[in-house]
Structure 1
Amino acid sequence: MDAGKWRGHIALLSANVIWGINTPISKTIMPGYLPAGALNYFRLVGACLAFWLVSLFCKREKVSKRDLWLLFWAAFFGVMFNQILFLRGLAMTAPIDAAIVATTAPIITMIVSAMYLKEPITWTKVIGVVVGMSGAILLISSSHHGVAGESNMWGNLLCLISCFSFAIYLTVFKDLISRYSPVTIMKWLFLYGTIACFPVLYKDVVSVDYASLVPDAWWRIGYVILFATFLSYLLVPIGQKNLRPTTLSMYNYVQPLVASFVAVLIGLDTFGLVKGIAGVLVFSGVYIVTQSKSRAQVLAEKSGTKK
């Protein structure tokens, strides 16, 4: 494995570990201190300010007008549409349903990659996705006992569409992401997201009783903004530049694993055989997908056979 791929794997693993830790932290913020929409908008605004501040100390990259337009659509599918639909879906359906629907992301990404990038759907890739998904579903099913919520078809559908939205972002905009630095990409994505999401989320933002927010709540909000948004989204483009879309989406399965481990550490859950098996399945699935052949490898083999 070359250095670029190693960087991609380390970046994606780190980002998803951060997101996994973010799950129990966010649950302690919502809805006690903030509604979901307000926390989501804080993430957008906070990360936007951080990316633009950091960009002042980086080499300036000129972005063409055409690419600025493409970045808007990248923001639409990767930040705005994806997040808003998932939040609305989560509000309508049971959390366990939303989590299980989210495990379809690698399957959707694999299909979109096959259609748009002509990436082959190999048996190795399919087996890896199924193994990883089974581990994630096993873990989610064993970790959500007692969580309130009623299954809702429309809520589940919104969560599913949000997965399609993010799959489009990972696949269609891969070349665009590769042309610029992570800071340049993210400062524009979050600027567009901050502006476009304001009309949708402002009611949640103004409904917050800011005087009641204790210092501990602000520290947790700070983690969500600086680590689970700014740092993690800084790492994602590194993975996008070096890894295939299906491999990128497979790392989603690490999140429930990390969230479960953190819950065990802080006494909110217990570790058992089921969680151990689920962890093995998740990482086995990720490894199997990384061993699948890319389009370039398949074409090279066909070319060699013809010779």
Structure 2
Amino acid sequence: MTERTDSNRAVAETLATSNAFAGLSDGKKGFIFALCAYLLWGILPFYLKSVAHIPALEVVAHRIVWSVPIAAALLWWLGLLGDLKVAFTTPRMLAMAILTASLITINWGTYVWAIANDHTVDTALGYYINPLVNVVLGRLFLSERLTKAQMIAVALAACAVILLTVWSGGLPWISLILAFSFGLYGFFRKTLPIGAIQGFTLEVLILSIPSLGFIAWTMTQNTSHFTNGQPNDVSLLLFAGLATAVPLIFYALGAKLLRYTTIGLMQYIAPTIVFFIAIFVFGEPFSHVQLIAFVLIWSALAIYTWSMVYEAQKVKSAIAHNR
């Protein structure tokens, strides 16, 4: 775990020492990296709408395949390609990477399909719920105690889900799949003893094998949008690599230079942008019941955020007092 942390910080510091960041503190550098990541994730629906005519599986396959050269080039530049050799020769690490790669594929596939099929509001809800799912996962798998504030926040989120279930006649599956797949991905990703960028590269390398097979199959069936689609489809699918890899790399760098509380507060930027895009740009319907559900979620997040900041201040005060 220590080696992974040192590796992550080394990567962040290597990239952050460029002239563009001269004179900035680690906190400011981390804030810029994380802000770029969340802004890019926030506007990602615009790109996904542009490829809505392409099947979600094909889009995901190209997201994976074209992320490989970007991530590999970055690792080569940083001199960290050797970490991948260690990963591929360590069965436990490889098995865990296969698990996390599978979870992020489910997340990406659901997200791409949802945006293409006018469920952008549901995706925003899913990523709003995600921090509260992380709290529940910590309680279930790590026996972490929930504070009163966290219990209230989780209860409010559960009420929102129940309200949407009763109103729509079924569970908000898109939101729940996104929240739990990303929550589980983050949970298991923490146990992967490898740096953030190395881990991402390992995951897309593993996923590139079935992805290349799927792309080859679409070509044999003459259904490939990469070879048989519109002229701009090739450019759009090639861009999938940048749209996938760049924000993830920015996030990984920012997370290593920022305090946990700060990155926790910033995580609401992307779903908020997505929410406003869904309502005011894509013009998706938004009922009074959905508004009530979102108010419940926003209230839950406000309580959760307050508790997170409060606990961080307590720890900070305790450390200062012990000095």
TM-score (norm 1): 0.64
2:205 to 191, 197, 203: 191
Q: Secondary structure at the match of 2:38?
A: helix
Q: Secondary structure at the match of 1:121?
A: coil
Q: Secondary structure at the match of 1:104?
A: helix
Identity percentage over the alignment? 20
Q: Does 1:55 align with 2:75?
A: yes
Equivalent residue for 1:297? 315
Paired residues in the alignment total 268
Equivalent residue for 1:23? 45
Q: Secondary structure at the match of 2:77?
A: coil
Q: Secondary structure at the match of 2:106?
A: helix
Equivalent residue for 1:213? 230
Equivalent residue for 1:140? none
2:252 to 237, 243, 250: 237
Equivalent residue for 2:65? 45
Pair 101,57 (structure 1): closer, same or farther in 2 beyond 3 Å? closer
1:123, distance to aligned residue in structure 2 (A): 4.9
1:4, distance to aligned residue in structure 2 (A): 5.9
User: Are 1:109 and 1:249, in contact at CA under 8 Å, matched by a contact in 2?
Assistant: no
CA distance in 1, matches of 2:75, 2:238: 20
Pair 289,52 (structure 1): closer, same or farther in 2 beyond 3 Å? farther
Structure 2 gaps of 5+ residues are 1-24, 162-167, 284-294
Q: Secondary structure at the match of 2:66?
A: helix
1:39, distance to aligned residue in structure 2 (A): 1.5
Q: Secondary structure at the match of 1:167?
A: helix
CA distance in 2, matches of 1:107, 1:262: 23
Equivalent residue for 1:72? 98
Q: Does 1:112 align with 2:106?
A: no
1:17, distance to aligned residue in structure 2 (A): 0.8
Q: Partner amino acid for 1:253?
A: Y
1:48, distance to aligned residue in structure 2 (A): 1.3
User: Are 1:37 and 1:204, in contact at CA under 8 Å, matched by a contact in 2?
Assistant: no
Q: Does 1:176 align with 2:192?
A: yes
Q: Does 1:258 align with 2:273?
A: yes
1:108, distance to aligned residue in structure 2 (A): 0.6
Q: Does 1:14 align with 2:36?
A: yes
Pair 127,30 (structure 1): closer, same or farther in 2 beyond 3 Å? same
CA RMSD of aligned residues (A): 4.8
CA distance in 2, matches of 1:4, 1:127: 34
CA distance in 1, matches of 2:31, 2:63: 24
Equivalent residue for 2:13? none
Spell out, residue by residue over 1:19-70, the C-alpha distance to the aligned partner (whole angstroms, 9 max, x if none): 1111122212211xx2222111111001012112332222234335133333
CA distance in 1, matches of 2:124, 2:178: 12
CA distance in 2, matches of 1:128, 1:244: 22
CA distance in 1, matches of 2:263, 2:239: 23
Spell out, residue by residue over 1:178-207, the C-alpha distance to the aligned partner (whole angstroms, 9 max, x if none): x42x33222101111222455677666762
TM-score (norm 2): 0.61
